[in-house]
């Protein structure tokens, strides 16, 4: 190690908090420690720029290349001439909005390398991971031909990896970003198949690493593919779309017919997305990670007071299949007024009109069966907001008119669907629509979307994202949902909120489940569904089933609607990837706790020390004694608890447990 590096580490050891600069023309190796000194990031600037990461004495990332290739052949990062380096220590906090906690600690050490040629790289070491990003300081615009983002590993580790297996139009970069996880060795990952982040790697001594990205703006998203040599993953990026045609579901999509030989055209002076590796010593740590939120750009909405997260009564999943009414149920005014009555009765903040309320090709043509103003006014009289579904292409074609018109009518938000891409042009749509919607005080739920990368912090009117294989899939699929449900909190949820749409009131065990479109059921127990409202992060959270079923199950419905969608504090209690998870969240003076298991029946011991001082009552929903035969079976009870208690919880196969814990009177 060079003497300058020893001096750098010594300064960290002294806890000095001021920035300093090292002129490093001769020094081509740099090291950065996390604030707790557990993580060590090393950068080597030679013929290739490479970075590596250790957690304690164990290798997380072996030396891996990073570079940006520009049109014309210039490669930023290869044979880089470092002109200066600057290291700083940051210890601050973020006041979060519409998140799983109100205060996010933001502590890291940062290394900035400035390079000859108007570019540089920023590296950060947190106590729970690392990140890096390129930046450029050039006057003219840039064409990025490709990016080299390597993640090399020492051994043939097991990974949880979701393949792109539903490519549209024979274009591997057009996908719904939904799939189950393959749990396989790196060497067994298909060489010719793309996967989408986040991806989890299992390391020695139960450590885990999750690869994803943050602050994606004016740039394509990162897919991952195995390298032809060694145990490695490398970033792949969608080329820029040059020609598109209207196609797909009801012609709501734009299929790419021709792509460019570059991935982005962009400003010459800018910061590029963060490449990040989240590192955990235990599985449980992954259940409460803030890395993507911390790396995102701060809010661009000056006054967010109009942004109101909450729940929504949803129509599409249950196929408008209400009964015991005196009108023909369907996409019509009477049905939605009925949904409003249901929402008002249970203090659900919103209803959603999904596909069918407007012409599929013209978002401004409302079907004759719908009197939208009457529905909105009726909702307003009942203190229930109205959201609208829309395909992204019709909304993009008439963005200003649609937002202006429907905001004046009184619409609270849009659920936008079928983007199914993350090339630069589509990423630009996400930001452009978020900004325009904010100008009209419209909230957004990006369905048919790539995973979140922090847009929800930058534009907090964006409440939710799909990019997850949600409950809608039970309408046509027999795959293992309890397994998936106990996997995504450790991987996909790290990226941000999930539009999973839980709340099924017909619950089946493994043997009795059937995929049915009009009267769908869930895999697993009722309490498995209830727990999702605590475990899954979702500021805009749907009740997927129909009002008839909810009113038949008033006890469960009251519990669901009592759970907030954003929280002041989150505590990860217990868990193991793909097996089970347990999370506690607090809002004001009330705690909400959820646990779920895969198809394996499970007993866990729940430590209530997070409650703190005082005496509490817990309203508990637990799997009934016959839940293994009939998933609907559950038991509700109210018990006295304190922070000294450890509750023994039994979950049936595909089961769950949920509780609301409040101060005893």
Q: What is the DSSP letter of 220?
A: P
CB atoms within 10 A of CB 103: 12
Comparing C-alpha atoms, which of 294, 251, 361, 261 is closest to residue 127? 294
Widest Cα–Cα separation across the chain: 83
Annotation marks residue 354 as catalytic: no
Pick the catalytic residue: 354, 472, 485, 633?
472
Output phi, psi for 409, to 5 deg: -65, -30
CA distance 170 to 20: 51
Helices 526-535 and 554-562 cross at an angle (nearest 10°) of: 10
3-state DSSP assignment of residue 144: strand
DSSP classification of residue 398: T
State which H helix or E strand residue 659 sits in: strand 656-663
Strands (E), 367-433: 385-391, 413-417
**First vs last C-alpha separation in the chain:** 63
3-class SS of residue 92: strand
Tell me how far apart the alpha carbons of residues 269 and 451 are, in angstroms, rounded to a whole number.
Answer: 26
**The tokens of 258 are what?**
């021709």
Q: What angle do CA 457, 455, 407 make, to 5 degrees?
A: 90
Residue 442 · residue 461 · CB < 8 Å: yes
Q: How far is the C-alpha of 665 from the C-alpha of 600, rounded, in Å?
A: 38
**Angle, to 10 degrees, between the axis of helix 424-439 and the axis of helix 399-409?**
30
CB atoms within 10 A of CB 646: 11
Catalytic choice (174, 417, 553, 623): 417
Tokens coding 621 = 């929903």
Burial grade of 427 (CB within 10 A; 0-12, 13-18, 19 or more): buried
Token duo for residue 66: 């990073």
Cα 342 to Cα 331: distance, rounded to the nearest angstrom? 16
Q: Which residues pair with 158 in a beta bridge?
A: 185
8-state DSSP, 539: S
Per-residue DSSP letter, 186: G
Residues 590-602 as b or e (16 or more Cβ within 10 Å = b): bbbbbbbbbbeeb
Quote the CA–CA distance of 517 and 519 in Å, as a whole number: 6
Please identify which residue in the block is written with the tokens 């009177």: 665
Tell me if residue 445 falls in helix, strand or coil.
strand
Give the chain's count of helices (H) and strands (E). 13, 42
| Distance (Å) of CA 184 to CA 187, 203, 212, 507 | 8, 13, 19, 30
Per-residue tokens: 437: 């919607």
Pairing of strands 129-137, 119-126: antiparallel
Q: CA 326 to CA 523: how far, in whole Å?
A: 32
Residue 417 annotated as catalytic: yes
Q: At which residue do the structure tokens 């090292």 appear?
A: 22
26: Cβ contacts below 8 Å, ≥ 6 apart: none
Strands (E), 308-384: 310-313, 350-353, 358-359, 362-366
Residues with catalytic roles: 417, 472
């Amino acid at each position: 190690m060079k003497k300058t590096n020893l001096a750098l580490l010594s300064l960290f050891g002294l806890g000095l908090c001021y920035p300093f600069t090292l002129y490093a023309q001769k020094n081509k190796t740099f090291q950065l420690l996390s604030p707790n000194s557990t993580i060590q990031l090393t950068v080597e600037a030679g013929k290739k720029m490479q970075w590596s990461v250790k957690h304690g004495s164990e290798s997380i990332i072996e030396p891996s290349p990073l570079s940006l290739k520009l049109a014309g052949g210039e490669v930023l990062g290869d044979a880089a001439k470092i002109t200066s380096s600057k290291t700083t220590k940051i210890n601050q906090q973020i006041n979060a909005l519409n998140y799983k906690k109100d205060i996010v600690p933001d502590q890291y050490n940062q290394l900035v390398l400035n390079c000859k040629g108007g570019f540089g790289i920023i590296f950060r070491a947190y106590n729970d991971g690392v990140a890096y990003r390129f930046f450029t300081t050039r006057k003219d615009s840039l064409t990025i031909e490709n990016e080299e983002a390597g993640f090399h590993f020492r051994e043939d580790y097991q990974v949880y990896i979701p393949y792109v297996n539903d490519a549209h139009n024979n274009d591997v970069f057009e996908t719904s970003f939904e799939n189950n996880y393959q749990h396989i060795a790196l060497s067994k990952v298909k060489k010719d198949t793309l996967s989408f982040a986040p991806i989890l790697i299992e390391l020695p001594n139960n450590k885990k690493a999750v690869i994803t990205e943050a602050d994606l703006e004016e740039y394509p998203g990162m897919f991952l593919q195995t390298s032809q040599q060694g145990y490695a993953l490398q970033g792949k990026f969608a080329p820029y779309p040059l020609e598109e045609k209207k196609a797909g579901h009801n012609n709501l999509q734009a299929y790419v017919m021709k792509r460019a030989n570059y991935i982005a055209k962009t400003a010459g002076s800018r910061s590029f997305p963060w490449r990040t590796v989240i590192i955990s010593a235990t599985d449980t740590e992954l259940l409460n990670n803030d890395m993507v939120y911390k790396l995102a750009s701060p809010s661009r909405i000056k006054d967010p007071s109009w942004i109101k997260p909450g729940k929504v009564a949803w129509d599409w999943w249950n196929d408008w299949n209400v009964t015991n009414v005196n009108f023909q149920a369907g996409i019509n005014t009477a049905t939605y007024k009925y949904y409003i009555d249901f929402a008002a009765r249970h203090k659900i903040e919103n209803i959603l009109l999904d596909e069918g309320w407007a012409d599929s090709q013209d978002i401004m043509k409302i079907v004759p069966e719908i009197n939208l103003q009457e529905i909105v006014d009726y909702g307003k009289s009942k203190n229930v907001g109205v959201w609208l579904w829309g395909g992204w292409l019709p909304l993009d074609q008439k963005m200003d008119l649609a937002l202006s018109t429907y905001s004046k009518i009184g619409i609270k938000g849009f659920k936008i669907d079928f983007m199914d891409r993350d090339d630069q042009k589509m990423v630009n749509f996400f930001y452009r629509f978020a900004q325009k919607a904010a100008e009209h005080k419209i909230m957004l739920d990006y369905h048919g979307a790539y995973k979140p990368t922090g847009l929800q912090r930058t534009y907090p009117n964006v409440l939710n994202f799909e990019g997850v294989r949600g409950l809608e899939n039970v309408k046509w699929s027999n795959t293992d949902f309890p397994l998936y449900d106990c996997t995504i909190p450790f991987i996909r949820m790290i990226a941000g909120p999930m539009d999973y749409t839980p709340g099924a009131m017909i619950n089946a065990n493994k043997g009795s489940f059937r995929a049915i479109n009009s009267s769908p059921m869930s895999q697993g127990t009722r309490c498995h569904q209830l727990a999702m409202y605590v475990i899954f992060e979702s500021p805009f959270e749907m009740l997927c089933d129909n009002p008839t079923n909810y009113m038949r199950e008033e006890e469960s419905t009251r519990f669901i609607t009592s759970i907030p969608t954003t929280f002041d504090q989150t505590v990860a209690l217990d868990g193991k990837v793909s097996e089970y998870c347990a999370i506690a969240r607090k809002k004001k003076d009330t705690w909400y706790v959820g646990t779920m298991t895969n198809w394996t029946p499970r007993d866990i011991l729940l430590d209530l020390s997070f409650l703190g001082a005082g005496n509490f009552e817990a309203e508990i929903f637990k799997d009934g004694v016959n839940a293994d035969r009939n998933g609907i079976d559950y038991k509700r009870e109210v018990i006295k608890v304190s922070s000294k208690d450890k509750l023994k919880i039994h979950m049936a196969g595909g089961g769950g447990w949920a509780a609301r814990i409040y101060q005893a009177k």
